[in-house]
């Protein structure tokens, strides 16, 4: 029998990560394509569908059987109805991407939120595997989170759950893209760390990576900016822990590349701030930038598999 694969796409503001993923989550083929966001949402939609179609063709040419399509996009995503409701950087407004993919490729499809499907992959295949309650936090240009309970993601009533980046951690703090002040994203995202350091040092163009490197080398100003960001992040995680009581918090996205330089001060600030809640383990993500494609594939299999899906996504339930 031919081996099945899922056609998976993780669509970002500038690029799309694309893959053929086996049902066990392993990636057998990867491609990258530009999103072409500047050409407008209709062109992006056509681009996504044609890339998916060519990936399905590639699978067949390699002797594999494509069985489903999984697509992850940023913004507000109605997973139940398969609609990309709203996205600032891709320009989607109520695009029924799932049904378009079903029509075009002739197989089941699922649409998910990029960070929430990344969470699904980390919880089931990566740093959260074997745990029932996992919070994945992606820290890059922005900050967002995905809660996974017993292998199932939590999308929220309107497809907008997990906006941890817009929890206010410093009232009156830095202006956020959403219009509020002191949002976690405005205080601790990679972008805001670079901007804060540039403001204070006068060194323009410094990135969060530069700040981490300078802080590790003992530069006082960089150390302060880094520490303040870690404390803001801890404040966000404490709010999340008060709400969700998870076993493990998985930190991903570009900023997590800092590894222990990030984990150490965040763990310390969380330990200091916690009162009666249970302190979650705080670990680094394991799947890197394949998490989105793998999670989109898992979501597509869950949606297409029917009654066996619950068992497959939840093999560790009895270990709790």
Residue ranges in 8-67 that form contacts with Zn ion under rule CB under 5 A: none
Nearer to Zn ion, 169 or 230 (CB): 169
Q: Which is nearer to Zn ion, 180 or 263 (CB)?
A: 180
For the CA atoms of 42, 47, 52, 53, the dihedral, rounded to the nearest 10 degrees, stands at 90
Shortest distance, position 186 Cβ to Zn ion, whole Å: 6
Distance from C-alpha of 207 to C-alpha of 205, rounded to nearest angstrom:
6
**What is the rounded (10 degree) CA torsion for 279, 281, 283, 287?**
-120
Q: Is 145 in the site for Zn ion (CB under 5 A)?
A: no
Calpha distance 273→313 (Å, rounded): 34
Q: How far apart are the first and last CA of the chain?
A: 36
191 binds Zn ion (CB under 5 A): no
Distance CA 153, CA 47 (A): 27
Q: Which residues pair with 139 in a beta bridge?
A: 143
Smallest gap from residue 174 Cβ to Zn ion (A): 10
* Residue 185 vs 257, nearer CB to Zn ion: 185
Which member of 11, 56, 110, 183 binds Zn ion (CB under 5 A)? 183
Interaction between residue 160 and Zn ion (CB under 5 A): no
| Residue 176 makes contact with Zn ion by CB under 5 A | yes
CA distances from 221 to 188, 203, 212, 215, 257 (A): 16, 12, 11, 8, 21
Q: State which of residues 43, 178, 239, 309 lies at the interface with Zn ion (CB under 5 A).
A: 178
The stretch among 49-57, 160-168, 249-257, 288-296 that binds Zn ion (CB under 5 A) is 160-168
**Which residues are at the interface with Zn ion (CB under 5 A)?**
166, 176, 178, 180, 183
């Amino acid at each position: 029998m031919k081996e099945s694969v899922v056609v998976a796409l993780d669509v970002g503001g500038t690029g799309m990560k694309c893959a053929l993923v086996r049902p066990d989550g392993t990636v057998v083929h990867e491609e990258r394509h530009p999103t072409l966001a500047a050409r407008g949402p209709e062109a992006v939609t056509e681009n996504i569908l044609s890339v998916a179609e060519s990936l399905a063709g590639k699978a067949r040419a390699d002797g594999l059987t494509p069985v489903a399509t999984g697509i992850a996009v940023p913004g507000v995503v109605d997973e139940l109805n398969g609609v990309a409701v709203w996205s600032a950087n891709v320009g989607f407004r109520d695009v029924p991407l799932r049904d378009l993919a079903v029509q075009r490729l002739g197989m089941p499809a699922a649409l998910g939120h990029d960070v929430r499907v990344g969470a699904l992959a980390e919880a089931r295949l990566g740093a959260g595997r074997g745990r029932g309650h996992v919070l994945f936090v992606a820290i890059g240009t922005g900050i967002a989170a995905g809660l996974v309970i017993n292998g199932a993601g939590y999308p929220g009533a309107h497809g907008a759950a997990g906006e941890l980046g817009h929890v206010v951690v410093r009232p009156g703090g830095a202006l956020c893209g959403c219009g509020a002040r002191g949002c976690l994203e405005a205080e601790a995202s990679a972008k805001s760390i670079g901007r804060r350091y540039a403001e204070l040092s006068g060194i323009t163009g410094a990135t969060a990576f530069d700040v981490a490197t300078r802080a590790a080398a003992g530069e006082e100003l960089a150390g302060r900016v880094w520490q303040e960001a870690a404390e803001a992040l801890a404040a966000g995680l404490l709010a999340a822990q008060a709400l969700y009581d998870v076993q493990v918090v998985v930190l991903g996205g570009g900023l997590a590349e800092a590894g222990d330089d990030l984990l150490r001060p965040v763990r310390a600030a969380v330990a200091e701030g916690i009162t009666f809640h249970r302190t979650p383990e705080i670990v680094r993500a394991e799947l890197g930038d394949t998490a989105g494609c793998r999670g989109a594939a898992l979501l597509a299999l869950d949606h297409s598999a029917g009654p066996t899906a619950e068992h497959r996504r939840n093999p560790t339930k009895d270990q709790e």
